[in-house]
Amino acid sequence: MPNLSVELLPGHKRGLSFSNPVMTASGTFGNGLDYAKIFDIQRLGAIVSKAITLRPRQGNAQPRIIETAAGMLNSIGLQNIGVDAILRDIAPVWATWRVPVIANIAGESIAHYAELARRLDGAPGVSGIEINVSCPNVENGLEFGTDPRSASDLTYAVRRETDLPLLVKLGPNVTDIVGIAAAAADAGADGLTLINTFPAMRIDIQARRPTLGWGSGGLSGPALKPIALRMVYQVARSLDIPIVGCGGIVSAEDAIEFMMAGATAVQVGTATFRNPQAPLDIIDGLEEFMQREQILAVREIIGAALPAQRESQTNNAGGVAAGHGPQSDGAITGRALRPG
Q: Is the pLDDT of residue 330 over 90?
A: no
> Of the listed 52, 99, 135, 260, which one is catalytic?
135
Share of the chain above pLDDT 90, in %: 79
**Does the predicted model carry a pTM greater than 0.85?**
yes
Per residue in 6-64, pLDDT (tens digit) is: 999 987 888 899 999 999 999 989 999 999 999 999 999 999 999 999 999 998 889 99
Phi, psi angle pair for 91, to nearest 5°? -55, -40
What string of DSSP letters covers 82-99?
Answer: -HHHIIIIIHHHHTTSSS
Per residue in 92-138, pLDDT (tens digit) is: 999 999 999 999 999 999 999 999 999 999 999 999 999 998 765 44
Phi, psi angle pair for 271, to nearest 5°? -55, -25
Residues 273-286 have a mean pLDDT of 96
All domains in the chain, ordered by first residue: 6-59+77-198+219-315 (3.20.20.70)
135 classed as catalytic: yes
Report the pLDDT value the prediction gives residue 14, as an integer from 0 to 100: 83
Task: Please state, in angstroms and rounded to a whole number, the distance separating the CA atoms of residues 197 and 169.
Answer: 10
What string of DSSP letters covers 291-336?
Answer: HHTT--BGGGTTTTTSHHHHHHHHHTTSPPPTTTSTTSSS---SSS
What string of DSSP letters covers 230-281?
Answer: HHHHHHHHHB-S-EEEESS--SHHHHHHHHHTT-SEEEE-THHHH-TTHHHH
R_g of the chain computed on alpha carbons:
19
